[in-house]
Amino acid sequence: PISNKIEELFSVDSSPLSHRVLSPSAGDGTDEITTRKEFSLVYVSSDDNEMEMMDYTRSNWIPVPFDSPDRTNIKQHFRICAQVEMESLGIERRRQEIPSLVIIESATQGILSMGGKDDLLQYGEDVLDHWISQKDLVRTLEE
């Protein structure tokens, strides 16, 4: 399943891409909070509770806090959520099912791809280079 592919490519322990994705510090106070990388994976959970969310979250992912209103706002903005959440979020029709990957360029907050999951399946380990080329193309067109 796609969730296994996401975990395989974006988990710090086994990932061929982990050196390019945000990595948290050791937490010993001797280094910065995070090491800047090309990409960050922000996890917006549809789990039933915080414990389930933390069990699924990998160490190099940035989870949106379970009780944060940002979690709800992000789901409503992108219209991406679990089917059981649709009514409580006021979403009549989902843009995508979960899991989903929305690729956002950090400097402009522009959407590079709403189909990150499909990109991942198509490009595999080369997906980050594909998204970088999308970012470069958008920046060229904006000049």
pLDDT digit string (tens) for the chain, length 143 residues: 455 656 665 655 555 555 555 554 444 444 444 455 567 778 999 999 999 999 888 777 888 999 999 999 999 999 999 999 999 999 999 998 888 889 888 777 788 889 988 998 899 888 888 988 888 887 787 77
Task: With beta carbons less than 8 A apart as the criterion, state whether 45 and 71 touch.
Answer: yes
Q: What is the pLDDT of residue 47?
A: 93
Tell me, what's the pLDDT at 9? 58
pLDDT of residue 19: 55
